[in-house]
Structure 1
Amino acid sequence: MNSYERFAEVYDELMTDIPYTEYVEWIQTYAPAQNYKNLLDIGCGTATLAFLLHKAGYAVSGIDLSEEMLAIASARMEDEKITMPLYAMSMDELEGFSELDVAIIPIDSINYVKEQQNVVETLKRIFGSLREGGQLFFDVHSLYKMDNIFLDGPFTYDDGEISYVWYTEPGEEPHSVYHQMTFFVLTESGLFERFDEEHYQRTFAFEQYVKWLKEIGFSHVEVTADWMATQPTDESERIFIRAVK
């Protein structure tokens, strides 16, 4: 599984287009904080979404594999005087949580789990950590996005302070992609510092996620697409899945 390293330093600045408030609204619609208090953010990153959920009334904990991301989240907590337990942990090794009301795996975080058995293990461990009636919310890249959009690179970005060149190539497994990114970040000296990262993502058909969830024991599974309550199409880019224990 990949872990964000230096990318963590610029992650928030590059992700300002993610509609985090819509993610909060999705969760609130089915699991309002007054009835679903305890929430675990799996792959919480710098805790941008976790902070919004905290402000919405949830008692949030977070895990992430990247200690660099968690360090930024902890510094933000200190600045805003918020207490939120954070743990460095791989999602397929999730342990120590029980009777959770809600678990989320936001912003395609589960697509960083490379092996099929580890994806299933992640879902099993979440199931075991939820109370009866607890809910899991997560999203994944669609097959179309992985096989077509991601491979239509390279992609570039430049805002004067942060620049990157992002190359992609197919991975070894079906519906997988290597992301090779070179960043140039303006420093206080007026010079640009370069660093490189490589990430690997893999996805599966949404029908496969549904099959796994039902085999694990989730009683109800709902699938929508692209930040709206619409059914997935052949050209949907992001798939949203809600499962009830």
Structure 2
Amino acid sequence: MASYGQFATVYDRLMEEMPYAEWLRFIRESWDRYGTPSTLVDLGCGTGSLSIPLARTGLKVYGIDLSADMLSVARSKWDGSSQQMMRHQAGSIRWLQQDMRDWELPEPVDAVVSFCDCVNYLTEHEDVEAAFQATAANLKDGGVFLFDVHPPKQLVRYAEEQPFILDERDVAYIWTCDFDEDRVEIEHHLTIFARDSGSKYERFEEIHIQRAYDPEWITAALLRAGFRTVDRYADFQLQEPSPHAERLFFAAVK
């Protein structure tokens, strides 16, 4: 699993184009169908780009991530918005450094979300099963677990379309991939150049490994973990996935 390290310092800059608004819309529309929670876990919360807007709606949120560096950035963002929060309906966030394979809380919550393909970072079947079991154990009966994954075909696309290059004034990267067809696993190699407060650039290397799993196996693993129903959607829409879906969404109800 990736721990992110130095990557946390430029993560938000590199993720500016990620569809956070679409994830939030999907969450709201899912709650219209499965029920609106008052307590929630953002599993693999990163720098809090979903945790914070969810808390602003009045929810009690737990942001859980393995990386202390990512959580440090998240705390700073949350603390920096505290004055603005005073003027709005404010919820709360508790940041916790835990592994998504064995996370736990003192009491169960109403909902868990885990987006931006966090589950793909679990590279063994038993790791995915453990994460599903931990999630079921920390959800109330009737609670919903919403998450997304890249399907196998999407990892193949990454391998076929690489390399990826970003060249901006403050940050740049070269991103290449190695694909293991047998394991349906991709290893992302990033060489990142981040500008400091002056005119110098710091270079650092990141390796991130993701694995894709058969959707039918994921559904079966969720049921084995204790979820009673599992629905599949695709590409931010509450509709059946097509064979060309780039991102699969799961809604598992305990």
Which residue of structure 2 lines up, in the alignment, with residue 53 of structure 1? 54
Cα 1:203–1:50 change in 2 (3 A) is same
Is the contact made by 1:31 and 1:102 (CA closer than 8 Å) also made in structure 2? Answer: no
Is the contact made by 1:37 and 1:58 (CA closer than 8 Å) also made in structure 2? Answer: yes
Cα 1:141–1:97 change in 2 (3 A) is farther
Cα 1:200–1:173 change in 2 (3 A) is farther
**Runs of 5+ unmatched residues, structure 1:** none
**2-structure distance, mates of 1:131, 1:70:** 25
Alignment of 1:163-202 (within 5 A): 163-171=172-180, 174-202=183-211
Secondary structure of the structure 1 residue equivalent to 2:51: helix
Say what the alpha-carbon RMSD is for the aligned residues.
1.8
Residue 124 of structure 1 deviates from its aligned partner by: 0.6
TM-superposition CA deviations, 1:32-82 (whole Å, max 9, x none): 698410000000000011111111222111110111100101111221126
Residue 172 of structure 1 deviates from its aligned partner by: 7.8
Secondary structure of the structure 1 residue equivalent to 2:58: coil
One-letter identity of the residue aligned with 1:62: G
**2-structure distance, mates of 1:238, 1:99:** 28
The normalised TM-score by structure 1 is: 0.94
Cα 1:172–1:93 change in 2 (3 A) is farther
**1-structure distance, mates of 2:112, 2:94:** 14
**1-structure distance, mates of 2:195, 2:144:** 42
Alignment of 1:1-245 (within 5 A): 1-31=1-31, 35-81=36-82, 83-171=92-180, 174-245=183-254
Is the contact made by 1:98 and 1:128 (CA closer than 8 Å) also made in structure 2? Answer: no
Secondary structure of the structure 1 residue equivalent to 2:237: coil
Bigger mean CA offset, 166-175 vs 177-186: 166-175
One-letter identity of the residue aligned with 1:13: R
Count of matched residue pairs: 245
**1-structure distance, mates of 2:233, 2:7:** 30
Residue 211 of structure 1 deviates from its aligned partner by: 1.0
Is the contact made by 2:111 and 2:144 (CA closer than 8 Å) also made in structure 1? Answer: yes
Identical columns (%) = 31
Is the contact made by 1:180 and 1:199 (CA closer than 8 Å) also made in structure 2? Answer: yes
Cα 1:139–1:111 change in 2 (3 A) is same
TM-superposition CA deviations, 1:163-210 (whole Å, max 9, x none): 000010014852110010000111222011111111111110111111
Which 4+ residue blocks in structure 1 deviate beyond 3 angstroms?
32-35
TM-superposition CA deviations, 1:103-159 (whole Å, max 9, x none): 011110111111110100100110011001000000001111112334421110112
**2-structure distance, mates of 1:230, 1:35:** 20
